[in-house]
Structure 1
């Protein structure tokens, strides 16, 4: 399991990789550079668009057109024309920015917030937005991160990074309401859980900030199955493509000797 570096541009904080299976395109962001990327794995083309405030999460609309969260609100970005336009904003406090998010099967946008420019304990929330209306579904979070639905969409897994745990919620697809069930995974070492995704078998793959790896967990019993080591310490998130290959985003750390932080990595499915 040797990850391949496929993109590196001296970014401080790459995040939010999502793969559009219909169009075979990977999207990801450089949060603090306010950049949104579109990567074509077939011809290796990488396009980028810059917004005016930190970006975090990408939602699919149509071919090469996405909705992106930024501190200034949600913007529609068209990578066909390289144009952008404001879409909407949720009523959030000035001292927070958006972080990780996900979309449910009927199109609800779920997204969390965190303190910005400084992390503030319990200042964040997780919101659900649909058809012009929004509501708070998880309150008093600190660093809202990984979100993943079970394959039957009955459960939502969520990471508030400082808790070092993965929470499991019952999810009502009809109403968008959630109810806390239990913490199903706990990190006891020095690393902290960041972004995550779920594989075809229902296992959670969790990026470990400070741990230099992506780890695979069984949410049914809380057991760690294995991990993938990377040549940098701060791993931010991951996602699978159509062929179960894994894309991984990373961030820099304070060491001058670590050169690969902030890169985008790729691991083939036959090596997982």
Structure 2
């Protein structure tokens, strides 16, 4: 931990036992938290107003997703394709296949501030080879590959509050990168943003706060770490499970008497995937959703501006 950084403890919210919880997303319109169990091929939804959660079955593994301008739909990144998911009917409408003929699958993704969906893929061979890619689905549903280094496992995709910086990583490298990201989609000045220095943990899913800090879930490290815009650690949240996987800032904060929505609740997904029997028996909360109330505020999640045909 960096000298001078603050830390606190997350608490269990939902013991959902997801095999591979991911895709943490707060919907400011509905006041609900969404996430996915990738290996369970399910989309989950939680409403803090009544404490209830429900889920939707997916036609294949659901790796990532985005809110849409039309609240009836989600843009879903299934293992092999992007599609629209209808929250009312449960139906899907295919948009485009992703990396057909290559042993990869869709992995992490977020919308940029212009309402385009940026996502990456991961190597499924088990060899962690840099054969995957980073892509952008534009508002007209055209797909383009971004000029970024090929990853083995894409993760940590997030955008600064002004949209001018994109963050991303190839998890096995244990470093998070940043690049200049223009409104027209151009990318320049790709660089190292920060390197993990703890003995354990790799960078997984991220989100940003209104001060420009990047919050990163660190798989295998039982922690979420905040880095300032300069890449220096400022805070961390200890999570009572080994494999936190993704984060979102939402609200209202639990226990807030005035009901004010601050986007200051840190939602954290986790997983029991890759734990052997002994580790899983010891890590009883693996696969749950955790929360911590922060002194920071989040930024509303951008929505995808494309629409089903």
Task: Give me the TM-score of the superposition, normalised by structure 1.
Answer: 0.92
Q: Indicate the residue corresponding to 1:261 in structure 2.
A: 286
SS at match of 2:115: coil
What does the per-residue CA deviation read over 1:210-245, in whole Å, with 9 as the maximum and x for residues that have no partner?
Answer: 11010111131x221121111111111101014211
Question: Which residue does 2:221 correspond to in 1?
Answer: 211
Structure-1 residue corresponding to 2:304: none
Structure 2 residue aligned with 1:42: 49
Contact 1:119 1:143 in 2 (8 A): no
Higher strand share: 1
Question: 8 Å contact 1:75–1:84 — kept in the other structure?
Answer: no
Q: Is the contact made by 1:153 and 1:171 (CA closer than 8 Å) also made in structure 2?
A: yes
**Distance in 2 between residues matched to 1:95 and 1:31, nearest whole Å:** 17
Q: Tell me by how many angstroms 1:132 deviates.
A: 2.7
Residue correspondences, number: 269
Q: Is the 8 A contact 2:80 2:99 kept in 1?
A: no
RMSD (Å) for aligned C-alpha atoms: 1.9
1:199 CA displacement:
0.8
Unmatched 5+ residue regions in structure 2?
A: 1-7, 252-261, 298-309
Q: Would you say the 8 A contact 1:157–1:168 is kept in 2?
A: yes
Q: Partner of 2:181 in structure 1?
A: 171
| CA shift for structure 1 position 17 | 0.4
Greater RCO (CA < 8 Å, at least 6 residues apart): 2
Residue equivalent to 1:144: 154
CA distance in structure 1 between the partners assigned to 2:18 and 2:162 by the alignment: 36
After superposition, where does 1:3-18 map in structure 2 within 5 Å? Answer: 3-18=10-25
Q: Deviations over 1:106-130 (max 9, x none)?
A: 2211110001263531011000111
Match of 1:183 in 2: 192
Matches within 5 A, 1:1-272: 1-61=8-68, 62-63=70-71, 65-79=73-87, 81-93=88-100, 94-116=102-124, 118-130=126-138, 131-137=140-146, 138-174=148-184, 176-189=185-198, 190-220=200-230, 222-242=231-251, 243=262, 244-252=264-272, 253-254=275-276, 255=279, 256-269=281-294
Distance 1:33 1:39, change over 3 A: same
Structure 2 length as normaliser, TM-score?
0.82
Q: Do 1:90 and 1:134's aligned partners in 2 also have CA atoms closer than 8 Å?
A: no
Indicate if the aligned counterparts of 1:49 and 1:82 stay in contact, CA closer than 8 A.
no
